[in-house]
Amino acid sequence: MTNVKQHQNRFGWLVTVSLVFIGIVFGSRYAKFPLALVGRTLESMPLKSWLSRLLHRPVIGFYVSLYPIDLLFTSLPVYLALSVTGLALVVAALVLARPGKLGRAVLLLGFLAVLALPFVTRYKPAVVVNPDRVQINVPTRPGPLNGVVKAMQVGAEVRRCGYKLLGWSEQDALYGEEICGMRHRFWVYWPISDRRLQTVSTIPTNFFQQEVSREQLLAAGIHSAVPQDEALRIVVREPGLASPEGWWYAFVARHVYGPEDVVIITR
């Protein structure tokens, strides 16, 4: 029994380190959900109300304090490294420190918090649609892990990749280019098959390039994710492109200073 207690005391620091690491790095991710709810509530209140004045500065201050951690999560390799570190610390604490029931329960909760982050943090493009009028395809929509990264890029106002539409082919294929830092590629997207962007080595010489204005997109059922409709001019900086038969509109939507997406709507 004495040896067991000595063993527990020797590695007891692992429990503290694990909980502090996960609490700061991953707990802050979950703290954003109630914080966003408070922020939306404050926005709906009169600016001079006592509750708005009381909570405005603490909420803004908390957002600012989370910014350095947000930046860490805007890179997939860093996010994966943080996740592996957190999981490894929890396993080491459970095996070596052998905490009591409460300690095990808290450690397991932290373990689940790391694993569950891709399922509770979903990336949303900068635009939404009226589903009764149009259907939307976002071929740049990320998977679960990259979804966490791109969602954090929105809050941290980081843009890793930019997109440019080149035009449509006669076969209703959309061509464009992607620039991610020093990496550059041309891509093609076939709306009829709803696949992701496919890298191509050559592109057509003749494109169909009929422009679609923001006003036309708004009339077609596209809205900014920000409630104000006039915000569409902020998230859609350039005119879109209509397909040859007019079945599809394509455009690039941007989270102001954050990530971009290629968006195609079916009329």
Rounded-to-integer distance, Cα 262 and Cα 249, Å:
11
C-alpha dihedral (192, 198, 202, 203), degrees to nearest 10: 40
Per-10-residue mean pLDDT, the chain, length 267: 56 88 92 67 58 60 78 95 96 90 93 95 90 88 94 91 94 93 92 87 89 89 75 86 92 93 91
Rounded-to-integer distance, Cα 222 and Cα 45, Å:
27
Residue 36's pLDDT is what?
66
Does residue 238 sit in the same domain as residue 111? no
Query: Is the sign of the CA dihedral 211, 214, 219, 224 positive or negative?
Result: positive
**What does pTM read for this prediction?**
0.84
Rounded-to-integer distance, Cα 72 and Cα 64, Å:
14
Q: Where are the beta strands (DSSP E) in 73-196?
A: 127-129, 135-137, 162-168, 174-180, 183-189
Does residue 143 sit in the same domain as residue 262? yes
Tell me the β-bridge partners of 179: 162, 184
Does residue 167 sit in the same domain as residue 77? no
Does residue 115 sit in the same domain as residue 136? no
Instruction: Provide the number of structural domains found in the chain.
Output: 2
Burial class (CB in 10 A: 0-12, 13-18, 19+), 215: exposed
Residue 267's pLDDT is what?
72
Give me the phi and psi of 190, to 5 degrees please. Answer: -105, 105
Decide the pairing of beta strands 135-137 and 260-266: antiparallel
Does residue 248 sit in the same domain as residue 204? yes
Does residue 155 sit in the same domain as residue 256? yes
First to last CA, the chain: 73
Residue of 126, 145, 122, 72 whose CA lies nearest to 259: 126
Rounded-to-integer distance, Cα 214 and Cα 192, Å:
24
What counts of helices (H) and strands (E) characterise the chain? 8, 11
Q: Containing domain of residue 83, as a range?
A: 2-120
Does residue 247 sit in the same domain as residue 163? yes
Does residue 262 sit in the same domain as residue 135? yes
Among 87, 120, 153, give the residue marking a domain's end: 120
Rounded-to-integer distance, Cα 222 and Cα 65, Å:
34
Does residue 141 sit in the same domain as residue 27? no
Rounded-to-integer distance, Cα 267 and Cα 255, Å:
24
Among 120, 141, 165, give the residue marking a domain's end: 120
Among 93, 120, 147, give the residue marking a domain's end: 120
Does residue 147 sit in the same domain as residue 70? no
| DSSP sequence for 22-74 | HHHHTHHHHHHHHHHHHHHHHHHS-TT-HHHHHHHHHHHHHHHHHHHHHHHTT
- Looking up tokens 């900014």 gives 224
Does residue 56 sit in the same domain as residue 138? no
Does residue 113 sit in the same domain as residue 144? no
Structure tokens at 20: 């502090």
Structure tokens at 88: 């490894």
